[in-house]
Amino acid sequence: MKELMNQDLKAITEASSTPMISIYLSRDASLDMRALTEKWRESLSKAEFYLLKDYTRSFVHTFMEPLRIAPFLETLDHLDKGVIVFYSTDHQGYIRVQSPINDLVVVADSFHIKPLLRIKNTERGFFLVSISSKVVNVSVETNGHLYRMDSIKNPLEEEDLNSNKSKPDAKDFIFHAAAELNKSLALYKLPIILAGVKDHLGHMKKHLSHSMVLEDAIVGNVERMKADELRERCFELLEPYYRQKELEAIDELNLAVKRNHAITYIEDIAVSAIYGKIRKLFVVENKQLWGTVNKNTGEVFISPKQTNSHDDDILDDICQLVLAKGGEVVVLRDATNVKGYVAAAIVTDKSHLYDVEQSYST
Protein backbone atom coordinates (compact mmCIF):
# COMPACT_ATOMS: atom_id res chain seq x y z
CA MET A 1 0.00 0.00 0.00
CA LYS A 2 1.53 3.29 -1.11
CA GLU A 3 1.47 6.71 0.50
CA LEU A 4 -0.85 8.94 -1.53
CA MET A 5 0.13 12.41 -2.68
CA ASN A 6 -1.98 15.38 -3.79
CA GLN A 7 -1.94 14.26 -7.41
CA ASP A 8 -3.57 10.95 -6.41
CA LEU A 9 -6.66 12.55 -4.89
CA LYS A 10 -8.46 13.06 -8.21
CA ALA A 11 -8.26 9.33 -8.87
CA ILE A 12 -9.71 8.67 -5.40
CA THR A 13 -12.78 10.83 -6.07
CA GLU A 14 -13.32 9.26 -9.50
CA ALA A 15 -12.87 5.64 -8.38
CA SER A 16 -15.81 3.35 -9.19
CA SER A 17 -14.78 -0.16 -8.15
CA THR A 18 -17.08 -1.14 -5.28
CA PRO A 19 -16.99 -1.90 -2.41
CA MET A 20 -14.86 1.02 -1.18
CA ILE A 21 -13.50 1.26 2.35
CA SER A 22 -12.49 4.58 3.93
CA ILE A 23 -10.87 4.45 7.36
CA TYR A 24 -9.95 7.51 9.41
CA LEU A 25 -7.71 6.44 12.27
CA SER A 26 -6.77 9.06 14.86
CA ARG A 27 -3.52 8.70 16.73
CA ASP A 28 -3.21 9.86 20.31
CA ALA A 29 0.31 10.77 21.41
CA SER A 30 -0.07 8.44 24.40
CA LEU A 31 -0.70 5.37 22.23
CA ASP A 32 2.21 3.04 21.59
CA MET A 33 2.47 0.98 18.41
CA ARG A 34 0.80 -2.03 20.01
CA ALA A 35 -2.25 -0.01 21.09
CA LEU A 36 -2.47 1.69 17.69
CA THR A 37 -2.32 -1.68 15.92
CA GLU A 38 -5.17 -2.95 18.09
CA LYS A 39 -7.19 0.16 17.25
CA TRP A 40 -6.53 -0.50 13.56
CA ARG A 41 -7.83 -4.06 13.92
CA GLU A 42 -11.02 -2.72 15.50
CA SER A 43 -11.51 -0.47 12.46
CA LEU A 44 -11.09 -3.48 10.15
CA SER A 45 -13.69 -5.40 12.17
CA LYS A 46 -16.17 -2.55 11.65
CA ALA A 47 -15.51 -2.60 7.91
CA GLU A 48 -16.05 -6.37 7.81
CA PHE A 49 -19.35 -5.95 9.67
CA TYR A 50 -20.76 -3.70 6.93
CA LEU A 51 -19.36 -5.85 4.11
CA LEU A 52 -20.97 -9.02 5.49
CA LYS A 53 -24.40 -7.40 5.06
CA ASP A 54 -24.05 -7.70 1.28
CA TYR A 55 -21.16 -10.09 0.51
CA THR A 56 -20.24 -13.67 1.39
CA ARG A 57 -17.84 -14.41 4.20
CA SER A 58 -15.30 -15.97 1.83
CA PHE A 59 -15.32 -12.85 -0.37
CA VAL A 60 -14.90 -10.56 2.62
CA HIS A 61 -12.02 -12.60 4.01
CA THR A 62 -10.14 -12.53 0.70
CA PHE A 63 -10.98 -8.88 0.02
CA MET A 64 -9.77 -7.70 3.46
CA GLU A 65 -6.56 -9.76 3.61
CA PRO A 66 -4.23 -7.07 2.12
CA LEU A 67 -5.46 -4.59 4.75
CA ARG A 68 -4.66 -7.00 7.58
CA ILE A 69 -1.01 -7.28 6.56
CA ALA A 70 -0.47 -3.69 5.39
CA PRO A 71 2.67 -2.30 7.15
CA PHE A 72 1.90 1.43 6.72
CA LEU A 73 1.49 2.05 10.49
CA GLU A 74 5.25 1.63 10.80
CA THR A 75 5.80 4.65 8.53
CA LEU A 76 4.08 7.12 10.89
CA ASP A 77 6.32 9.61 12.67
CA HIS A 78 5.77 11.22 16.07
CA LEU A 79 4.17 14.37 14.60
CA ASP A 80 1.46 12.45 12.71
CA LYS A 81 -1.93 12.76 14.39
CA GLY A 82 -3.64 10.16 12.28
CA VAL A 83 -3.84 8.29 9.02
CA ILE A 84 -6.50 7.99 6.31
CA VAL A 85 -6.76 4.73 4.37
CA PHE A 86 -8.64 4.25 1.09
CA TYR A 87 -9.11 0.70 -0.14
CA SER A 88 -10.88 -0.99 -3.03
CA THR A 89 -9.91 -3.55 -5.65
CA ASP A 90 -8.44 -0.88 -7.94
CA HIS A 91 -7.33 1.85 -5.51
CA GLN A 92 -5.33 1.44 -2.31
CA GLY A 93 -3.33 3.99 -0.39
CA TYR A 94 -2.91 5.95 2.81
CA ILE A 95 -2.34 9.58 3.77
CA ARG A 96 -0.56 10.68 6.95
CA VAL A 97 -2.11 13.76 8.55
CA GLN A 98 -0.75 16.28 11.04
CA SER A 99 -4.20 17.62 11.92
CA PRO A 100 -6.62 16.05 14.42
CA ILE A 101 -9.23 13.75 12.85
CA ASN A 102 -12.16 11.77 14.20
CA ASP A 103 -12.20 7.98 14.02
CA LEU A 104 -14.52 6.83 11.25
CA VAL A 105 -15.10 3.73 9.14
CA VAL A 106 -17.24 3.99 6.00
CA VAL A 107 -17.97 1.21 3.51
CA ALA A 108 -19.90 2.55 0.54
CA ASP A 109 -20.08 2.87 -3.23
CA SER A 110 -17.64 5.80 -3.17
CA PHE A 111 -14.75 6.82 -0.96
CA HIS A 112 -15.55 9.08 1.98
CA ILE A 113 -13.54 12.29 1.48
CA LYS A 114 -15.23 14.94 3.65
CA PRO A 115 -12.65 15.06 6.50
CA LEU A 116 -9.85 14.89 3.94
CA LEU A 117 -11.28 17.91 2.12
CA ARG A 118 -11.01 19.97 5.29
CA ILE A 119 -7.37 19.02 5.68
CA LYS A 120 -6.39 19.45 2.04
CA ASN A 121 -8.38 22.61 1.36
CA THR A 122 -7.19 24.55 4.39
CA GLU A 123 -3.95 22.82 5.26
CA ARG A 124 -2.27 22.34 1.92
CA GLY A 125 1.20 22.84 3.32
CA PHE A 126 3.33 25.84 4.19
CA PHE A 127 6.67 27.52 3.58
CA LEU A 128 9.29 27.73 6.30
CA VAL A 129 11.88 30.49 5.86
CA SER A 130 14.74 29.99 8.33
CA ILE A 131 17.09 32.96 8.62
CA SER A 132 20.67 33.28 9.82
CA SER A 133 23.50 35.63 8.94
CA LYS A 134 25.03 32.89 6.76
CA VAL A 135 22.07 31.55 4.82
CA VAL A 136 18.32 31.84 4.29
CA ASN A 137 16.78 28.41 3.72
CA VAL A 138 13.34 28.00 2.18
CA SER A 139 11.54 24.70 2.84
CA VAL A 140 8.05 23.60 1.81
CA GLU A 141 5.87 21.19 3.76
CA THR A 142 3.59 18.91 1.81
CA ASN A 143 2.05 15.51 2.50
CA GLY A 144 3.69 15.38 5.92
CA HIS A 145 7.21 15.98 4.62
CA LEU A 146 9.42 19.07 4.84
CA TYR A 147 11.49 19.55 1.69
CA ARG A 148 14.36 22.02 1.15
CA MET A 149 13.33 24.14 -1.84
CA ASP A 150 16.00 26.83 -1.98
CA SER A 151 19.04 28.22 -0.15
CA ILE A 152 20.24 31.80 -0.41
CA LYS A 153 23.79 32.03 0.87
CA ASN A 154 25.51 35.16 2.12
CA PRO A 155 28.60 35.63 -0.12
CA LEU A 156 30.13 38.09 2.37
CA GLU A 157 30.23 35.37 5.03
CA GLU A 158 32.36 33.19 2.76
CA GLU A 159 34.68 36.12 1.95
CA ASP A 160 34.97 36.93 5.62
CA LEU A 161 36.33 33.47 6.37
CA ASN A 162 39.35 34.21 4.16
CA SER A 163 40.09 37.69 5.46
CA ASN A 164 40.72 39.58 8.64
CA LYS A 165 37.78 41.92 8.15
CA SER A 166 35.16 42.34 10.85
CA LYS A 167 31.99 40.27 10.57
CA PRO A 168 29.67 41.74 7.88
CA ASP A 169 26.31 43.24 8.76
CA ALA A 170 23.41 40.82 8.12
CA LYS A 171 20.98 43.63 7.20
CA ASP A 172 22.12 43.93 3.58
CA PHE A 173 22.09 40.16 3.10
CA ILE A 174 18.54 39.82 4.45
CA PHE A 175 17.42 42.76 2.30
CA HIS A 176 18.67 41.03 -0.87
CA ALA A 177 17.31 37.64 0.27
CA ALA A 178 13.87 39.20 0.83
CA ALA A 179 13.93 40.62 -2.71
CA GLU A 180 14.54 37.12 -4.10
CA LEU A 181 11.82 35.62 -1.92
CA ASN A 182 9.32 38.24 -3.05
CA LYS A 183 9.80 36.97 -6.60
CA SER A 184 9.75 33.22 -5.92
CA LEU A 185 6.97 33.05 -3.28
CA ALA A 186 4.62 35.33 -5.22
CA LEU A 187 3.67 32.30 -7.32
CA TYR A 188 2.11 30.48 -4.36
CA LYS A 189 -0.75 30.96 -1.89
CA LEU A 190 0.59 29.09 1.10
CA PRO A 191 1.20 30.46 4.59
CA ILE A 192 4.80 31.51 5.22
CA ILE A 193 6.43 31.00 8.61
CA LEU A 194 9.63 32.81 9.50
CA ALA A 195 12.23 31.43 11.91
CA GLY A 196 15.32 33.11 13.32
CA VAL A 197 16.60 35.45 16.02
CA LYS A 198 14.61 38.63 16.70
CA ASP A 199 16.87 41.00 14.76
CA HIS A 200 16.83 38.83 11.65
CA LEU A 201 13.07 38.38 11.87
CA GLY A 202 12.55 42.12 12.13
CA HIS A 203 14.65 42.84 9.05
CA MET A 204 12.94 40.10 7.01
CA LYS A 205 9.39 41.18 7.95
CA LYS A 206 10.28 44.75 6.96
CA HIS A 207 11.23 43.78 3.42
CA LEU A 208 9.18 40.63 2.70
CA SER A 209 6.05 41.93 0.96
CA HIS A 210 3.85 38.84 0.96
CA SER A 211 0.35 38.75 2.42
CA MET A 212 0.68 35.11 3.51
CA VAL A 213 3.45 35.76 6.06
CA LEU A 214 2.24 34.81 9.56
CA GLU A 215 2.55 37.52 12.17
CA ASP A 216 3.86 35.03 14.73
CA ALA A 217 7.25 33.46 14.07
CA ILE A 218 9.66 30.89 15.49
CA VAL A 219 12.15 32.84 17.58
CA GLY A 220 15.56 31.26 18.15
CA ASN A 221 18.84 30.18 16.62
CA VAL A 222 17.69 28.06 13.68
CA GLU A 223 21.18 26.62 13.21
CA ARG A 224 20.72 24.74 16.48
CA MET A 225 17.16 23.54 15.80
CA LYS A 226 16.41 20.12 14.36
CA ALA A 227 13.99 19.72 11.46
CA ASP A 228 11.41 17.89 13.60
CA GLU A 229 11.47 20.66 16.19
CA LEU A 230 10.90 23.28 13.49
CA ARG A 231 8.00 21.30 11.99
CA GLU A 232 6.36 20.85 15.37
CA ARG A 233 6.56 24.55 16.17
CA CYS A 234 5.19 25.37 12.71
CA PHE A 235 2.09 23.25 13.37
CA GLU A 236 1.56 25.05 16.68
CA LEU A 237 1.59 28.42 14.89
CA LEU A 238 -0.70 27.24 12.09
CA GLU A 239 -3.48 25.98 14.38
CA PRO A 240 -4.88 29.48 15.20
CA TYR A 241 -4.22 30.60 11.60
CA TYR A 242 -6.43 27.87 10.14
CA ARG A 243 -9.08 28.47 12.79
CA GLN A 244 -9.22 32.14 11.79
CA LYS A 245 -9.66 31.15 8.13
CA GLU A 246 -12.59 28.96 9.13
CA LEU A 247 -14.21 31.81 11.07
CA GLU A 248 -13.87 34.07 8.03
CA ALA A 249 -15.67 31.46 5.90
CA ILE A 250 -18.45 31.20 8.50
CA ASP A 251 -18.89 34.99 8.44
CA GLU A 252 -19.34 34.76 4.66
CA LEU A 253 -22.01 32.09 5.11
CA ASN A 254 -23.92 33.99 7.80
CA LEU A 255 -23.95 37.10 5.62
CA ALA A 256 -25.30 35.06 2.68
CA VAL A 257 -28.06 33.65 4.92
CA LYS A 258 -29.09 37.17 5.96
CA ARG A 259 -29.25 38.26 2.33
CA ASN A 260 -31.26 35.16 1.36
CA HIS A 261 -28.45 33.95 -0.91
CA ALA A 262 -28.05 30.66 0.98
CA ILE A 263 -30.07 27.48 1.51
CA THR A 264 -29.96 25.08 4.47
CA TYR A 265 -32.54 22.37 3.65
CA ILE A 266 -30.69 19.20 2.70
CA GLU A 267 -33.17 18.36 -0.10
CA ASP A 268 -32.71 21.79 -1.70
CA ILE A 269 -28.94 21.53 -1.35
CA ALA A 270 -28.88 18.14 -3.09
CA VAL A 271 -31.01 19.39 -6.01
CA SER A 272 -28.90 22.55 -6.29
CA ALA A 273 -25.75 20.39 -6.43
CA ILE A 274 -27.20 18.41 -9.33
CA TYR A 275 -28.04 21.62 -11.21
CA GLY A 276 -24.58 23.06 -10.55
CA LYS A 277 -26.07 26.04 -8.73
CA ILE A 278 -23.89 25.87 -5.61
CA ARG A 279 -21.06 28.37 -5.47
CA LYS A 280 -19.84 27.35 -2.02
CA LEU A 281 -21.00 24.40 0.09
CA PHE A 282 -20.51 24.27 3.87
CA VAL A 283 -20.65 20.95 5.73
CA VAL A 284 -19.66 19.89 9.23
CA GLU A 285 -16.92 17.28 9.45
CA ASN A 286 -18.16 15.30 12.44
CA LYS A 287 -21.82 15.23 11.34
CA GLN A 288 -23.03 12.40 9.12
CA LEU A 289 -26.41 11.92 7.44
CA TRP A 290 -26.56 8.31 6.28
CA GLY A 291 -28.40 7.21 3.17
CA THR A 292 -28.11 7.77 -0.57
CA VAL A 293 -28.53 10.55 -3.12
CA ASN A 294 -30.00 10.01 -6.58
CA LYS A 295 -27.20 11.41 -8.76
CA ASN A 296 -29.68 12.24 -11.56
CA THR A 297 -32.50 13.96 -9.67
CA GLY A 298 -30.96 14.96 -6.34
CA GLU A 299 -33.62 13.00 -4.42
CA VAL A 300 -32.41 12.14 -0.92
CA PHE A 301 -33.07 8.79 0.83
CA ILE A 302 -32.19 8.96 4.53
CA SER A 303 -31.33 5.92 6.68
CA PRO A 304 -31.52 5.92 10.49
CA LYS A 305 -27.87 4.85 10.60
CA GLN A 306 -25.09 3.28 8.54
CA THR A 307 -26.61 -0.15 7.91
CA ASN A 308 -24.74 -1.85 5.05
CA SER A 309 -21.98 -1.54 2.47
CA HIS A 310 -23.94 0.92 0.32
CA ASP A 311 -25.04 3.56 2.81
CA ASP A 312 -22.85 6.61 2.60
CA ASP A 313 -22.82 9.99 4.28
CA ILE A 314 -25.23 12.02 2.12
CA LEU A 315 -23.23 15.14 2.92
CA ASP A 316 -20.11 13.50 1.53
CA ASP A 317 -21.91 12.57 -1.69
CA ILE A 318 -23.10 16.16 -2.08
CA CYS A 319 -19.54 17.40 -1.55
CA GLN A 320 -18.39 15.29 -4.48
CA LEU A 321 -21.29 16.50 -6.64
CA VAL A 322 -20.43 20.14 -5.92
CA LEU A 323 -16.74 19.60 -6.69
CA ALA A 324 -17.61 17.84 -9.96
CA LYS A 325 -19.66 20.88 -11.01
CA GLY A 326 -16.84 23.31 -10.23
CA GLY A 327 -18.15 24.55 -6.87
CA GLU A 328 -16.16 25.08 -3.70
CA VAL A 329 -16.50 23.01 -0.51
CA VAL A 330 -15.73 24.26 2.99
CA VAL A 331 -15.58 21.56 5.65
CA LEU A 332 -15.97 22.93 9.19
CA ARG A 333 -14.63 21.11 12.22
CA ASP A 334 -17.86 21.62 14.18
CA ALA A 335 -21.21 23.39 14.03
CA THR A 336 -20.50 25.78 16.90
CA ASN A 337 -20.69 28.98 14.86
CA VAL A 338 -23.15 28.01 12.12
CA LYS A 339 -26.41 28.07 14.12
CA GLY A 340 -26.78 24.31 14.13
CA TYR A 341 -26.69 23.79 10.35
CA VAL A 342 -25.58 20.33 9.28
CA ALA A 343 -25.04 21.76 5.82
CA ALA A 344 -25.59 25.08 4.04
CA ALA A 345 -24.84 26.38 0.58
CA ILE A 346 -24.35 29.75 -1.06
CA VAL A 347 -26.12 29.48 -4.41
CA THR A 348 -25.94 31.42 -7.64
CA ASP A 349 -29.76 31.52 -7.83
CA LYS A 350 -32.88 29.63 -6.67
CA SER A 351 -34.82 29.45 -9.90
CA HIS A 352 -34.51 25.67 -9.99
CA LEU A 353 -36.26 25.20 -6.62
CA TYR A 354 -39.99 24.64 -6.40
CA ASP A 355 -40.66 27.31 -3.80
CA VAL A 356 -38.11 30.10 -4.10
CA GLU A 357 -39.85 32.21 -1.46
CA GLN A 358 -39.49 29.72 1.38
CA SER A 359 -37.74 30.67 4.60
CA TYR A 360 -34.39 29.04 5.32
CA SER A 361 -34.19 29.69 9.06
CA THR A 362 -33.33 26.68 11.20
The pLDDT of 303-317, averaged and rounded, is 91
What is the pLDDT, as a whole number, of residue 29? 78
Domain count, the chain: 3
Domain termination site, one of 212, 242, 272:
242
What is the pLDDT, as a whole number, of residue 22? 97
Is pLDDT above 60 for 233?
A: yes
What is the pLDDT, as a whole number, of residue 123? 63
- Domain of 26, CATH number, reads 3.30.960.10
Give, in order, the Cα–Cα distances in Å from 219 to each of 130, 197, 200, 351.
Answer: 10, 5, 10, 55
User: Are 225 and 323 contained in the same domain?
Assistant: no
DSSP H helical ranges for 144-226: 155-161, 170-184, 198-207
What is the pLDDT, as a whole number, of residue 362? 37
Residue 360, domain member (yes or no)? no
Q: How confident is the model at residue 157 (pLDDT cuts 50, 70, 90)?
A: low
Asked if 85 and 23 touch (Cβ cutoff 8 Å), the reply is yes
Model pLDDT for residues 15-71, shown as the tens digit of each residue: 888 999 999 999 987 788 999 999 999 999 999 999 999 999 999 999 999 999 999
User: Are 85 and 153 contained in the same domain?
Assistant: no
Please name which of 197, 61, 43, 62 lies closest in space to residue 130, comparing C-alpha atoms: 197
Is pLDDT above 70 for 252?
A: yes
The pLDDT of 210-235, averaged and rounded, is 90
**What DSSP string runs through 35-101?**
HHHHHHHHHHHHHHHHHTTTS-HHHHHHHHHHHHS--GGGG--TT--EEEEEE-SS-EEEEEESS--
| Range in 52-66, 137-151, 289-303 with the lowest mean pLDDT | 137-151
Residue 117, domain member (yes or no)? no
Q: Is the dihedral of CA 146, 147, 148, 149 positive or negative?
A: negative
User: Are 94 and 131 contained in the same domain?
Assistant: no
Q: How confident is the model at residue 160 (pLDDT cuts 50, 70, 90)?
A: low
- pTM across the whole model: 0.81
Domain termination site, one of 112, 136, 154:
112
The pLDDT of 116-138, averaged and rounded, is 86
What is the overall mean pLDDT for the chain? 88
